[in-house]
Amino acid sequence: MKRLVTFFRRYLAGFLSEPTVVICGASALLIISHYQGNTGYFRTLFGDRFDKHPAANVIGHFWWFGSSLLLYLIIPLILSVATKGSFHRKYGFGLGNWRQGLLITGVFLLVMLPAAFIASKLDAFKGIYPLAGNAAFTLNIEGKSVTSLKLFAFYELCYFAYFVGWEFLFRGWMLNGLLPKFGRVGAVLCQVAPFAVMHLGKAELEALGSIVAGIALGILALRTRSFWYGALLHGIVAVFMDLVSAWKWL
């Protein structure tokens, strides 16, 4: 009997290990995000309660971005308590090698921003960004559509914050949580798979490019010991894409 109890304790201990918590936890959080963290669920939850709000058409996106921060950043930190993680050092919350981080980020931006500008002109990307469409910068005031730069600035700020949560989940929590078990190459590849799958529904070129981007961002996080540079890079490119796509209206 004692041997049986010992066996099950060791067996259960394996399921409470950091890699198990990270893989199962990240999978569950991505599923919850898909079903409850989207604009459609916001509509289901609140119905027509916000229909008369001047920014009614974009409020659901704020729900989406806020839910992502909760699911991709806050909850992983809470789960990490069970694995006794070091948030500052282990999960890349510190600035790490900031000189190298800023240098690499700058070099990547020199390549990515022109590429994003060219992509915005392709038919495959037209009408995709901003994700909220014209609602990202348009208020409905007494039946009239009014362009609001303040609304657009707030929308882009929340959109940028969304990528902070996104990068922490993949390049902070998953990457570093799996690193001791799978090594550098294995940890990078493990986080690339769900990262690429999350791009389904995007333009095909962007979805395929996410595989390369996931590897590059993973290496960047390992090299600098911080996920912040990936968040900065990812966020700047995304906001830039919105700007060039919406420029003719703004």
Per residue in 37-69, pLDDT (tens digit) is 999 999 999 988 888 888 889 999 999 999 999
Query: Taking 90 as the threshold, does the pLDDT of residue 250 lie above it?
Result: no
Encoded tokens for 225 = 């010991």
Most confident region among 87-96, 105-114, 141-150 by mean pLDDT:
105-114
Q: What is the pLDDT of residue 96?
A: 86
Q: What is the pLDDT of residue 76?
A: 92
Overall domain count for the chain: 1
Q: Can you give the residue range of the structural domain that contains 77?
A: 2-246
Question: What mean pLDDT value characterizes the chain?
Answer: 87
Band of pLDDT at residue 248, cut at 50, 70 and 90: confident
- Rounded average pLDDT over 194-199: 91
Cβ-in-10-Å burial (0-12, 13-18, 19+) of 25 comes to buried
d(CA 86, CA 215) in angstroms, rounded, equals 24
**Residue of 181, 192, 180 whose CA lies nearest to 220:** 192
Instruction: Pick the more confident residue, 231 or 89.
Output: 231
- In b/e form, how buried is each residue of 231-244, taking b as 16+ CB within 10 angstroms? bbbbbbbbbbbbbb
Q: Count of residues for the chain?
A: 250
Q: Of 28-42, 104-118, 134-148, which gets the smallest average pLDDT?
A: 134-148
Query: Taking 60 as the threshold, does the pLDDT of residue 243 lie above it?
Result: yes
CB within 8 A of 202, min separation 6: which ones?
128, 210
Band of pLDDT at residue 85, cut at 50, 70 and 90: low
d(CA 154, CA 164) in angstroms, rounded, equals 16
